[in-house]
Structures are given as C-alpha cells and as structure tokens.
Amino acid sequence: MAGNIFGELFKVVSFGESHGPALGCVIDGCPAGLELSVESIRQELRKRRPAQGVASTSRREDDEPEILSGVFEGKTLGTPIAIMVCNADCHSADYDNLRNVYRPGHADFCWDAKYGIRDHRGGGRSSGRETLCRVAAGAVAKKLLAAYNIRITAWTSALAGLDMPKPGDPDFDFDEIEKNPLRIPGRAAAEQALKAIESLRAEGDSAGGLVSCLAQGVPPGLGEPVFGKLDARLAGAMLSLGAVKGIEFGAGFTAARLKGSENNDTPVNKSNNAGGILGGISNGRDITFNVAFKPTPSIAKPQKALGKTDGEIVDLVISGRHDACIPPRAVPVVEAMTALVLADLVLLQRAAKV
C-alpha cells in the first residue's frame, strides 16, 4: 500500500509487525558507489533498541541487521537495498487479554474500523517497533547526506514537564546526548529528569516530551514548492510517527506573538526564527524544529476501555513491557526521518536547474 512507502526518488518501503518474524525496509533510488556496511546500520539501530534504562521497555532485542541486497564489496549497487531485522523477544501471550479490547490512547479501534482485522500482539504494525525500519533506512540516507556535508543531530529537549538546556545555554552539551539514556544534552538535567521518570514508572504512569532537531550544512534551495515544501515534507515525516502530536519550526508558535520587525531574520541579526526555511525552501541557515510526543498510552494504572464485541465498557490493566516515555528512543527516529526527507530532496534538487 502507498501508506507504507515514503519518498519520491529516495524511496523506502517499510515492512513487518511488532511480534512478527521480522521487520525491515527496502530502499530504492539510492545512488551507486556509496560506502555502506552492516556496522553503520547497526550503530543507528543501537540508539533506538529497547532495554535502555528506566525510561525504556524491558523487551530485549539485539536488533541485528542483515543486508539482503543492493550492496557489493561495501558499496551500494544502485539497485534496491533490502535490510531485515529478526524479532526474538516478543512475549505475545502478554497481549492475549487485548484480543477483544481496544486500549485507550492506541490505534486499536481505528485499525479495526479501517481493515476489519488487526494484530493485537503489541499493536502489530501500529507499534513503535515499526520505527526500526525507518532508522535502518535513515542510516543509509545519512551516508548519502554525509557526502554533501549535511549533519543531523536530535536530542530530548523536554521531558515529564521539565525543560532541558537549550543551545546557547552554558550547561548545553552536544557530547552529553549519547552519554545518558534519556539523550538529554546536560548531565544535571538528565539526572533530574531520570528521577521524575522513575517516580512516574513507580506510579504505573508515563510521560510525554519534546525532541529537538538540528540539521547543519543544508544548502539553500532544497524544497519543492508548492506542495512539496521542505517544512511540509518534514512535518509529514514527523507526524507519520505514531506518538507525535505536533511540530514547530524555528520560533514556532512563539512567532504568532511577535511583531514582523521582531520575527524577521535579517542579514545583520543572528536570529533564525524561520528555522532555516522560507517559502518552503531551505535558506542556508541551520534547520531547526521541535517535535511533540504524547505520553506512552500503555500504562500500568487501571483504566476503562471499550470492548470489541458489543461496545461494553470494561476494566483494563495493561501488562507487557512498555516505554515510560517515548522521546529518548525517538531521538534516532527523528534523525532518521529528517535524513530521509533531506536525502530525497537532495536528489530532486539535481534535476531542478542546469
């Protein structure tokens, strides 16, 4: 289905379910001659795999990728690249009580309404585990972007109602992002947030948060107006993630409260209120945006839920293994989706002018 395909020239097909035999992706349109190894994909998958501290699910998956096609002697062939990761630690029995119940905050009811059938084991294809496919494809896109000196960095910028350090703050540290399981760019802030998450998990509850993303080295001119605007493409990519409920670029919603004289980025000021995008096209400045993630809907607290058979209201306690908050493991996913958008637009730009 078209709903499982992303991109125009750098095209990705995602496949697999949370508790199926395997997940993976097929990438079509990647140019030949790009250096690519299993290790480069493995490094990205390690960032999003489960069992990474108190905020993460305890499901243990090695997420070991296998390249099935499209690469020969360490370089891409220009043919479809197929990457597969086998599931190993599913515990499908944990979801038996959900066969005929629609979980609050999940896609269960909507999936049934659309298809008339659903995989209740871990949410099937609507599970966050599907993002593994995106990260694997994003690893390839990052390799392509590196050839153009484009770099993408994301981090957890708010969690459990707490704001984290921002770029320019004295305690903001890019190097700290991958040194703590919450991917927060500051050690003291990470310790504070970790205590908040531990408290929520002990209560059987969960938290939402923000992921911020910075794309550096993006040349001016990327974006396909009118309906393929760079910010529109990025927004669509982020909102395709199951837990995302909002996105803002640059000054975002704050811009609605500013005067034009305050909001405009001029050649002499250092502001980037536009977030590096004007008219849907990159302007050469850093691309910046924030992505809002809702709290994990699978919580241990008792809830009321809708029964599938005759619409009765039932008592529900969700078992199984779930993230206490999504943003830390979503950081590499945001990076991957950004890379997929930019890689596609870099290739499209090749045909934009002589």
The tokens describing 344, both together, are: 């596609």
Report whether pLDDT(58) > 60: no
CB of 340 closer than 8 Å to CB of 9: no
**Phi and psi angles of residue 210, each rounded to the nearest 5 degrees, phi first:** -120, 145
Report whether pLDDT(59) > 50: yes
The domain covering 2-349 belongs, at the CATH homologous superfamily level, to Chorismate synthase AroC (3.60.150.10)
Mean pLDDT score, 224-229:
94
Between CA 280 and CA 266 the distance in angstroms is: 18
Residues 6 or more apart whose CB falls under 8 angstroms from that of 103 comprise 297, 298, 305, 316, 318
Residue bearing tokens 């919450």: 182
Mean pLDDT score, 87-113:
84
Higher pLDDT, 128 or 83: 83
Please report, as a single letter, which amino acid is at residue 101: V
Largest CA distance in the chain: 65
Mean pLDDT score, 138-166:
97
Query: What does the pLDDT look like over 310-322, one tens digit per residue?
Result: 789 999 888 766 7
**Phi and psi angles of residue 304, each rounded to the nearest 5 degrees, phi first:** -95, 140
Report residue 19's pLDDT band, with 50, 70 and 90 as the boundaries.
confident
Between CA 243 and CA 220 the distance in angstroms is: 31
Between CA 177 and CA 334 the distance in angstroms is: 14
Report whether pLDDT(1) > 70: no
Query: What does the pLDDT look like over 29-41, one tens digit per residue?
Result: 999 999 999 999 9
What are the DSSP calls for 179-210, one per residue?
GSTT--S-HHHHHHHHHHHHHHHHTT--B-EE
Higher pLDDT, 3 or 249: 249
Please report, as a single letter, which amino acid is at residue 273: N
Position 93 scores a pLDDT of: 73
What stretches of the chain show up as alpha helix (H) in DSSP? 38-48, 108-115, 131-146, 187-202, 230-239, 260-263, 327-349
